Every structure is written in C-alpha cells, then in structure tokens.
Structure 1
C-alpha cells in the first residue's frame, strides 16, 4: 500500500490523499459525512481502477480521516473547498466523479463550478441539501433553540458515535443548496439508491432525478440495500455503473 500523501490548501488545511497514476479519465471518489478514504467503496473502486490502469484519487476532507482539523469545525462549504483543492491541484483533464452520501452533494456542487471537466458521474445514496431537508426540517423547537444557545445539537447515528451538528453547518448548508435552483448535468449520470436506506430516502433520490437536467440520467433502486451500499453485490453495481457511464459496460 502506498504511503499517504498530503496537500496544503489555500485555507491552511492539510488534506490526506492517495492517488493512483494511470490513463484517463481519472476517477475521483468523494466520501460521505464522517467517512474517510479507507472506506470499502473507495478502496474497492481504487483496486478496480488499478486493474484497468486507470487514474484514481481518494482523499479525506478536513476533519475526516487523516486530514487536519476537527469535524465539528467543518461545514459543507469547507468540504467543497477541499474538493476543489484536491481536484485542481492533483488532477487535470477529464474526470469521472463518484460521490457517496454527502459526497454526492459534493459531486453536484463540483458539477456546478467545473462541468467542463466532468465526463461522467455516479452517486451512491446521494444526500443533497440534507442539512436543510434532513436535519433542520426534523429538529424540534428545543433542538432549534439549542442550536442558537449552545451552538450545536447531537443526533444519534446508526453507524458510529452521535453526529454533532453545528449552527455553522446548518447556516452554511443553506448557501450550498442544490435542489432549489436549476441543476444541469451535461454528461452521463447514474444515481444508485438502496430502498432500505434509513439515512437517505428513496424520495430524495427520485426528487434529485426529477430536478436535474441532462442527456443521460438513470436512477437504480436496489431492494433491501442499506445506506452503506458496500456488500459484494452493491460494490459490483457501483463498478458496473462506473464502467457504464464511460461506455465500457
């Protein structure tokens, strides 16, 4: 396994990454909230890319994995800046963007600022606007008051310790919303979604499909697949989706 490398961003953050050299278009993997680049999906896709001698990039947002900073200091905008830094400094030419959960939101934000670089996109349980439509919309009056007075609330997680959701994350998320304004995806897109996902609903996946505009978009609903979407069959579906969007099914 290659050693982890680090990138210093203009904002003073130190991002950990692994890059596999190879032919293009390079695959850029964007992980989920509180996930890291050692996740099953990222490592599996990297191995697939290496077998095909294709370029691959995975990295940790600030406050995640081996990168600098604390998770509670970050927000969607910070992680968007991290994504831009990684893409602009570590890649050139066409790329295939693969985004998981919050990484799906990041992939869509990336498509807004550099659609000319993206030749295809695959999302897995994409979670656009979840700070507003998921967290804020479900907060009780007491939780909203705590956000103002304490500055954060804690939410239970099915997968790890509670999520600490800060006032800054909620407010910043409102500046990054995807589903309220036009969303053009002028390249092949495959949205993958499990029907047993308790973090992102199938309604969200359908809403995203209906909202986005593009020449080649498909939504695949996988019965009984959960939010992790990382067992053997699901990994196979992700791999096939990546190959499909570049015409190599």
Structure 2
C-alpha cells in the first residue's frame, strides 16, 4: 500500500504517527510546502522523508492521498493533482470544503471527507467519513482508516456536527480531566497520580459504554445509589449547569 499525505501540520503529524505504528515508512509519501528546522527535526526523529514536490506523490501512484492542508489553500493545492490516478481515493481533512467543490476540480475522482481527531496518533482516534458518489464500496477506506481508530460513515449533512463532537470533544474532555486533577490535588492527591487516575477513569467509562451499548444516562444511574456521594456530585454539576455548558460549547464550536 502507498499513502500520500499532503500538509504536515499538527493533524498531519498525528496521522503519520499513527500510521507509522502499523505501516512501514517507505509506504508513506509525505509532502509539505516548506521544510523548516522543526520539520527537519521531525523527519530525523521519525526517520522519514518529507518532500516539497507534490508531483512525487502523484508519481508514486498511491492508494490514498490525505489532505491535511489548511482549508483556505486546500482547493488550490488540489489543482496540482489533476493527473492523479482515477483509482486513488482522496481523503480531505480540510474543514468547510464540500465534496462538490473537490469534484469540481477533480471530476469523477473518488473523494471522501475525513474528520480525524488527535488520538489517531496513538491509534485510538475517532474518524468521521463522508463519501462521494464515485465510491461504491466503503470497505477499503474503512479498513485503511481503522489502523487509526474507530471509523464512522456519515452523510455529508451530518459530517459537520459529527466533526465538532469528535474533533473539539477531546479538548472538552481535557478540560474536564484537568478540573478533576485540580480537585484531587486540592483534596491531597499528588498531581501525577490525579491525572493518571482521571485518564484511566475516562478511558474505562468510554469503553464500558462502547462495548455494552448502554446509554450514558443509564450507566450514570447504575452508579448513583440513593443518598450516596455520587448523586450528590451529579447534583452539584447540575447546579452549575454542567450539561448546558457542554451543549453551549458544542453549539459555539459548530457555529
């Protein structure tokens, strides 16, 4: 398999980190508009090569090309890929660009919108994918992306809000874990252990919901005994409009 990645910023690096856990470096063809000191260091640390010539990616005849370039320049960069093989699947992680806009530049090219999040770096990402009409079988795309985490096929209409929840959500969870850590430290736990405990708890709670398919409110009810400490904490969260704050955060990010 050959995979091209265009744009090696934070998300591009997260995807590369995840793929290097399951693929050989020579299977990746990486392109960035310039090579600065930070990029040179990244290449040396990961023992990879980054080129500045997108034609090198095209010439490699990759199975997939992932665009993680900034949205304002992505369509212009795609203009350089008009000679790309008709069998190569374009995966665009550029926010706000539609399938129609991409296919206006690359007619009849198989294209999917891609919404990864930063945990792809450790192969535990959540990836949303919206397919265009030229992709009739999603299995090869799902199989490839499952190296990076859980893959969800959405409609293009659902893609934006899905991306807000999964793309912005890690930051919301990080704020929550930081607050749990502060509370634990305030009550006598050392900070390193507080953060480790918070992360383990979030991971376990998420795994339980995912593996049992039990709704989160039901899981919450299972651990809130009458008059117990947990329900007192839940009530305190509600008194501070915790749910409303989360909903407002999603609305603000989605706007």
Superposed pair shares fold, TM > 0.5: no
Which structure is richer in relative contact order (CA contacts within 8 A, separation 6 or more)? 1
Structure with the bigger percentage of strand: 1
Give me the TM-score of the superposition, normalised by structure 1.
0.36
TM-score by length of 2: 0.35
